[in-house]
Structure 1
Amino acid sequence: MDEAVDFQLGGDARGKRIVVAMSGGVDSSVVAALAARTGAETIGVTLQLYDHGEAVGRAGACCAGRDIRDARAVCDRLGIAHYVFDHETSFRTQVVDRFADEYLAGRTPIPCVQCNMGPKFTDLLTLARDLGADCLATGHYVRRMIGEDGAELHRGADPARDQSYFLFATTQTQLDFLRFPLGALPKPRVREIAAELGLGVAAKPDSQDICFVPDGDYAGLVKKLRPDADTRGDIVDMAGRKLGEHRGLIHYTVGQRRGLEIGGSPEPLYVVRLDADTRRVVVGPRTALAVDAARLTDLNILGPLGGPLTAKVRSMARPVPARMVGDRLVFDTPEYGVAPGQAAVLYAGDRVLGGGWIAETEAATLAA
């Protein structure tokens, strides 16, 4: 293991204390190993967020029973302390319930961002400070770099693993305290390090994006939490003409084409809008998905927004040229698949400038 990871502790790490957020996966386990190797006192902390992963026996769930045992085993091997804190109630309120409510409101939620904004960062940072830590280290694939005005958030060096989209809401105060030692490494090398150190999680599958949803059945979870979520309604075209019926708004997202179960149209139809008040699914041709701008709420600013930038409006989307005009994100060319409830993350090159939540969109003139 030849990596010399800098935890940016300001000199000799001996006498320092690093708290590592441990989910029981390979990434956070390697972070703990790298932290311990610096000579700093290292403490592993796991938040027990729910019991669900163990109950369904789903590989890749995080922060549940089996994963806590894995984190503890890694800490035992490294000879460092490990603490578990029960945050199930906080996770349910801040993440799971909000996930269900967003779907009922016709929006497309991103629970991973909410988890980072709440239990994982806010709660863990408080715990780390209570433990007298000099920093909190996590296994996220992003880079913390020091610029002229202090700590900056940058994309992970490995484009296939970059997680900056999910961390846009990290505040400057949090960024000053956080460390991301894996940001410059490719995932295969991280697994190699785990194997070299004899960590039992070296070959463990990656955690799923939405850890609390069994088998990706979002609708099933929402129905369990909100029994009225399956209320049927009309599928209408852009002019309001009824084309069919749907089986509940929770089964649809903006940009969706499959599963509409309507026929007779000379061209493919897509979900253009979900109207929670009327329980209508509005469909139209692909051109109707084109968006010129989006209004953002709860903006988090990590860098200057006055000049040209790029924006990412879905986790798997490519950043596109845009600019901010007040609270409006204006695209240089029409963008497709921009859904209320998703995040818009702003970049200058690899640097994350911040972002916000998409509240509403403005249809492109070509879709009028």
Structure 2
Amino acid sequence: MSASLISRNADLQRLRDEGFAVEVRSGHVIVHDVWYVTPSGLIDKGSVVSPIQLNGDRTQPPSDHIAYFIGQAPCRKAGGTLSGVINQALEQTLADGIHVSFMLSNKPATGYPDFHAKMKRYVEMINAEARAVDPSRFDARTFRQVGSAEDESVFMYVDTASSRAGITASVARLRQQRIVIVGLGGTGSHLLDYVAKTPVAEIHLFDGDRFHQHNAFRAPGATGLDTWPTDAPAPMKVDFFSQRYGTMRRGVIAHDYNITAANVDELHDFDMVFICVDCGDVRKLIINSLVQQACSFIDVGMHVKRAHDPQQLLGTCRVTAGIPGHYSHITRRVPMADVENDNLYGENIQICELNAMNALLAVFKWKKLSGFLADEVGELNSTFSTSFNKITSSEEVAAK
């Protein structure tokens, strides 16, 4: 992706054409091979880094003038650091493999119109001191072609949201995970929407039902009427969603059948299994199998009933996690029988906001277990009540 992205943008291509070793990786543009003077007066190579702003695969004007440096403090030939360039010393991992040591700050009166201007200015200010020692040997224009790990990204375009927010290194904790979502109803489809925007390696979808018109009112986003042609059956849920999210990322894998005793073992060997089914027998089958194999899973459930005012509803969302060594709470917290007669959710009532809330709570728990979100409690069961507007955590906690 780095090479093709550079070739499609005049400012990045211009940097490469002029001989700079430019690379785009994990939402950052990097110029390598920047010769500079070290604090001890020696000459060494460093790299200048900046988060990159993109609209699709097209660069946008830099949002600020800040850049970063990988290496020791850049100094002047005569001694002393480049005070007009270095803003502060810091040790920060911007993304996997991008660990910087200094923040740079040098803003022209009119700002930077593009990344050619921004990166070249910082490179030349740092490199000038090394070139003053020997311009023939220490020129940052090395014409070296740099490969990129970005080619292995699951996304069809660069994740500039993470780089813009400075959380690329945190997001990397989710990379390589293989995730399962069993059931693509309202909650399962919202779960997919959130998980698809993380760099997990694979998302396996299991559901044997078709995506009918009523499903559109609980799914994320908007669905066009052409989804249901009059001369063909409704699409399978897994196919509908894998195609929708396939425009954004790779690794969404459809399994157009339900989980049964004959195939439940297919859920083993994943990093996390999200269980989004409303059939107690199926839930029990899946959970018992995952517990026997010491697998990690998160089960979600909702209960909706009428309030004293029959035109009002009371809703509760539940999220229960099971991880190796912590399963004793499951039978107390997870209903293993079919939904009650007064549970309107079992009648497919349209409550997409509760589906989204249920999915959010499950994603929060997954990201806590993955070390992406801080977890001061370690709860393995929580419920949210609409009437009390309260999230309650039970006593079961995972060891930290």
Q: Which has the larger radius of gyration?
A: 2
For the aligned pair, the TM-score class normalised by the smaller chain equals under 0.3
